[in-house]
Structure 1
Amino acid sequence: MVSRTIPVDPFDLVIFGGTGDLARRKILPSLYRRFLAGQMPEESRIIGAARTEISVEEYRAMARDSITEFVPSSKRDAASLTAFIDHLRYVAIDATGTQGWQELREEMREGMVHAFYFSVAPSLFGAIAERLHEHGIADGNSRIVVEKPFGKDLKTARALNATLAEHFTEQQIYRIDHYLGKETVQNLMAIRFANILFEPLWKTEYIDHVQITVAETVAVDGRGAYYDTSGAMRDMVQNHLMQLLCLIAMEPPYHFDPDAVRDEKLKVIRALEPVRPEDIVRGQYAPKNGKAGYRDDAGNPDSRTESYIALKVGIANWRWKGTPFYLRTGKRLRARTSEIAIYFRRPPHSIFDDPEGGRENVLVIRLQPNEGINLKVMIKEPGPGGMRLTQVPLDMSFAQALGPDGSDIPDAYERLIMDVIRGNQTLFMRGDEVEAAWAWADPIIEGWETRQERPHAYEPGTSGPEDALMLLHRDGRRWREIKE
């Protein structure tokens, strides 16, 4: 299968925080891969902007090193890398002062798409937005990209939305969640709405429950101070897992249109039922084999912040009432994996002598690693001796379909940055969507803070706290095994 590359209009993309970790690891390598694919027009330019006082040549050298480190050698060559680096510029700029803004204005060209990537702390969003207009750099056709965290609660999210709205319209603001740029996540909509096979079954009459898992093997060391003010609920559930839940549970939009899709996602968030305290399990990874535990990594020996959380969530609407959604995410777990598992109900009556009474069909959408889709179905076990049933997978690996090593699958940032240039907001969060998610999450967080609950300790390299297993066991269900 060969993917089509559709060029975008020529652009000037300014990366505020252009020397930062995100720019080095994701933004610049993603832009290089789009350049290599022929999607980035020759006239386009990328302008790094940061407080660091370096020359254009030094910035280009940094970008070359980053691309060499984060793009596989099989996907780059010296000639194309040199050609890409020639598109880079740099401006030393003070986000809260006056330095560099006139120079940045002189870099911007007429007739180009103007996009500004705010790869900086949210506390700087307002200052940058104000100066872009004050110095005549941004206009009514410009676009801004803002990274999470988009607030830490409903109050701060509303304040941030209001700050950006003073200078940009909602149609100009692209709130990025890289999970929505993953090929498999986008395929959720294709699976549901382009195949008559699934959509008639996509409701509580046929689906027993849904599991959403985002497991990581890494600790929080290196970003422990930030993480301890956030935790798994704010860092992962309120945004990444919420978006996955919305794509699974949303009603069919009238068209694949940005606002039509986001209208349906918003309805899901507003239909979420309050989560009971007994349907929440929080955990912290403990020390093991000389490796630090969460509290050591966070630098807070009395921390009550969770590095793991599992929740049972209900949706109060006609399609999903009675079907629980189980969400879990955590650090220092057994394996790095992200997946969605849809468990269909068992047949109401089994005509076979199956001791398990017939096992359910399970549709598994793997987001990482080894992106793909797996459907477990029941078949007859080969051989004589009666009708013995066994469960087998119908497996589609994106790596096999799109490339021998999977590296032809675009990184999420590649797709999302190009969507910004196109002016397509379908895969970006709208302001009211962000606020609705916080309105649901805030009471959950306030509840355990009021009760002064401490997270359960769990051993690194496991699936999390034992209490999380009981969250499903008491309902007669069990978590899928966490494995790569």
Structure 2
Amino acid sequence: MAVGQVKQRQPDPCAFVIFGVTGDLAHRLVIPALYNLAATNLLPDKLCVVGIARKGMSNAELTDSLFKGLRQFATRPVDDAIARHLLQCVTCIEADPKDPDSFDAMREHLDRLEAARQTGGNRLFYLATPPNAFLPISKELGRTGMLAENGPWRRLVVEKPFGTDLASARALNGELLDLVEEHQIYRIDHYLGKETVQNILVLRFANGMFEPIWNRNHIDHVQITVEEKLGVGHRGSFYDATGALRDMVPNHLFQLLSLVAMEPPIRFDAHSVRSEKADVLAAIQTQSEQEALRNSVRGQYCGGKIGDTEIEDYRKTRDVRPDSTTETYAALKLTIDNWRWAGVPFYLRTGKALTAKRTEIAIKFKQAPFAMFRDTAVDRLSQNYLVISTEPTESITLQFNTKVPGPTVNIDGVEMTFRYRDYFKAEPSTGYETLIHDCMIGDNILFQRADGVEAGWQAVQPFLDAWKRAGVTGLEIYRAGSEGPEQANALLSRDGRSWRKPG
């Protein structure tokens, strides 16, 4: 075993219960992730997969559907023997929270199934459903006693978005915590399943060269970028009611921000890490509506071309209102009111139908003094960045200055890049494998806690309120296939800064 390597813990026997099993999320991500865990011997020896569907479906029909989905969406070649072993235990139950009797029947079915499969009564309930189903399903699970921990463990996995604003997030947290304990809730964010994202903690706290300079004395600013090439596609109804800010910032981007900005936890456990993440999100300065308008840009794409693909106007997308003011692009300037980050701006941007798919954190270090090079041919120094990227390549790049070979002093910027695929021969993954395994072993270090969720919504609420009040005013139109609205550049240029160009 390599230095620093910890043996993987084997999960307890359990029933893996998937609500929304016929949907896209289950077929595209959850089942392929379970397959990858099975292929690496990280599933329990005794496991039963139970699919919950609102319309009747036989066990054989569900198994066939999941097998076809696995062949289509698997991230590695499918071994039929492994797939059959995983899916042979699949059963389908018809249940709908509008029909309480169906949940009573479901409880009895699970009791019989667990007794036959000897899973010990442990249950993992995965809500791969639209957000409006989270609470009705949870209430029925609570009413029937299926969430009660009387020996065997019971866990509830909830997808994003968790609420639509601060008030709804608080309400949802309150109602769920009336049904289960905090340690039973796993608010899942697939971004935290990416190896490079998890590596931020190791990069910061396991290397003595970084943490001493990880503060306002040495860092000029931080940029967090999550860009997508795809348009809204068939998600018009959901997206028009949600928008880029709600869809991406309180969850994905704030999880990245919290890992970059948090204080060192006293130990590497769920309570300590999640407490530090929640504290730094709570330290984000709450802006007035006027400040929020000044420190943000929102945009909406119009028709354009990305590669060979024509993208129609957002407002012409199916199920999108023709006069919609929903943003498909959002850029924010935030500050954190604590000792480490005082005066260091954090610039966040995310959008759809852009020129490239890219996810990165760019940490810009302060410029070195230029005085000693004044009498040389050097007229400027290259900027010093530490760039942590998950798309298009999982990598960490350090940009620094060096002398160009030759008799005179010429300086140029160079890069040192570490790529996961070059050093570690890891199989491609969905990003859900680590998270699902952690759910099964009861490790919620990578999952949001209630106070962290609410702190995130607290920070974005002024932007939601200001944009709603502004209506169409201030909504910038950008062409699909571009880098986004030009006004996003002004957000940084007025501070004497600029967005990092991909390189």
Q: What is the TM-score with the length of structure 2 in the denominator?
A: 0.91
Q: Give the deviation of 1:12 after TM superposition.
A: 1.1
- The separation in 2 between residues aligned to 1:474 and 1:150, in whole angstroms, is 34
2:109 is matched with: 103
- The separation in 1 between residues aligned to 2:98 and 2:371, in whole angstroms, is 69
Is 1:318 equivalent to 2:321 in the alignment?
no
1:232 is matched with: 244
Partner SS for 1:351? helix
Identify if the C-alpha distance between structure 1 residues 104 and 208 changes in structure 2 by more than 3 Å, giving closer, same or farther.
same
Q: Give the deviation of 1:442 after TM superposition.
A: 1.2
- The separation in 2 between residues aligned to 1:419 and 1:71, in whole angstroms, is 21
- The separation in 2 between residues aligned to 1:145 and 1:12, in whole angstroms, is 13
1:55 is matched with: 58
Partner SS for 2:275? helix
Number of equivalenced pairs: 478
1:423 is matched with: 442
- The separation in 1 between residues aligned to 2:77 and 2:395, in whole angstroms, is 22
Is 1:92 equivalent to 2:94 in the alignment?
yes
Which residue identity does 1:280 align to in structure 2?
S
How well do the aligned residues superpose, as a CA RMSD in angstroms? Answer: 1.8
- The separation in 2 between residues aligned to 1:254 and 1:371, in whole angstroms, is 28
CA contact (8 A) 1:113 1:421 kept: no
1:288 is aligned, of 304, 322, 325, to 304
1:392 is matched with: 414
- The separation in 2 between residues aligned to 1:429 and 1:301, in whole angstroms, is 36
Is 1:479 equivalent to 2:479 in the alignment?
no
Is 1:279 equivalent to 2:299 in the alignment?
no
Is 1:363 equivalent to 2:375 in the alignment?
no
Which residue identity does 2:358 align to in structure 1?
T
1:201 is aligned, of 202, 210, 213, to 213
CA contact (8 A) 2:383 2:413 kept: no
Partner SS for 2:463? helix
Partner SS for 2:278? helix
Q: Give the deviation of 1:409 after TM superposition.
A: 4.8
2:360 is matched with: 339
- The separation in 2 between residues aligned to 1:193 and 1:113, in whole angstroms, is 35
Q: Give the deviation of 1:454 after TM superposition.
A: 4.2
The answer for unaligned runs of 5 or more in structure 1 is none
Which residue identity does 1:256 align to in structure 2?
F
The answer for unaligned runs of 5 or more in structure 2 is none
CA contact (8 A) 2:367 2:384 kept: yes
Q: Give the deviation of 1:91 after TM superposition.
A: 1.2
Worse-matched range after superposition: 323-332 or 469-478: 469-478
Identify if the C-alpha distance between structure 1 residues 331 and 316 changes in structure 2 by more than 3 Å, giving closer, same or farther.
same
- For residues 307-331 of structure 1, what are the alpha-carbon distances to aligned partners after superposition, in whole Å with 9 as ceiling and x for unaligned? 0011111111111111111100000
Partner SS for 1:318? coil
2:323 is aligned, of 302, 305, 328, to 302
- The separation in 2 between residues aligned to 1:159 and 1:437, in whole angstroms, is 15
Is 1:134 equivalent to 2:143 in the alignment?
yes
CA contact (8 A) 2:286 2:458 kept: no
- The separation in 1 between residues aligned to 2:44 and 2:359, in whole angstroms, is 34
Partner SS for 2:372? coil
Q: Give the deviation of 1:257 after TM superposition.
A: 1.2
Q: Give the deviation of 1:139 after TM superposition.
A: 2.2
Which residue identity does 1:287 align to in structure 2?
G
- The separation in 2 between residues aligned to 1:225 and 1:454, in whole angstroms, is 23
- For residues 151-186 of structure 1, what are the alpha-carbon distances to aligned partners after superposition, in whole Å with 9 as ceiling and x for unaligned? 101111111112211210111011111111111111
2:423 is aligned, of 380, 398, 401, to 401
Which residue identity does 1:377 align to in structure 2?
F
CA contact (8 A) 1:5 1:37 kept: no
Identify if the C-alpha distance between structure 1 residues 160 and 356 changes in structure 2 by more than 3 Å, giving closer, same or farther.
farther
Is 1:150 equivalent to 2:162 in the alignment?
yes
- The separation in 2 between residues aligned to 1:356 and 1:320, in whole angstroms, is 30
- Output aligned runs, 1:179-258, within 5 Å: 179-258=191-270
1:160 is aligned, of 134, 155, 172, to 172
Q: Give the deviation of 1:92 after TM superposition.
A: 1.6
CA contact (8 A) 1:17 1:49 kept: yes
CA contact (8 A) 1:250 1:265 kept: yes
1:121 is aligned, of 108, 121, 130, to 130
1:82 is matched with: 84
- The separation in 2 between residues aligned to 1:6 and 1:397, in whole angstroms, is 27
Partner SS for 1:103? helix
Is 1:348 equivalent to 2:348 in the alignment?
no
Q: Give the deviation of 1:291 after TM superposition.
A: 3.3
- The separation in 1 between residues aligned to 2:195 and 2:218, in whole angstroms, is 26
Is 1:470 equivalent to 2:490 in the alignment?
yes
- The separation in 2 between residues aligned to 1:164 and 1:106, in whole angstroms, is 27
Q: Give the deviation of 1:364 after TM superposition.
A: 0.5
Which residue identity does 1:132 align to in structure 2?
L
CA contact (8 A) 1:91 1:104 kept: no
2:185 is aligned, of 143, 150, 173, to 173
2:457 is matched with: 438
CA contact (8 A) 1:210 1:324 kept: yes
- The separation in 1 between residues aligned to 2:361 and 2:223, in whole angstroms, is 6
CA contact (8 A) 2:52 2:94 kept: yes
CA contact (8 A) 1:350 1:357 kept: no
2:17 is aligned, of 5, 8, 14, to 14
Which residue identity does 1:13 align to in structure 2?
F
Worse-matched range after superposition: 45-54 or 288-297: 288-297
Partner SS for 2:416? strand
Partner SS for 2:223? strand
Q: Give the deviation of 1:83 after TM superposition.
A: 1.6
Partner SS for 1:408? coil
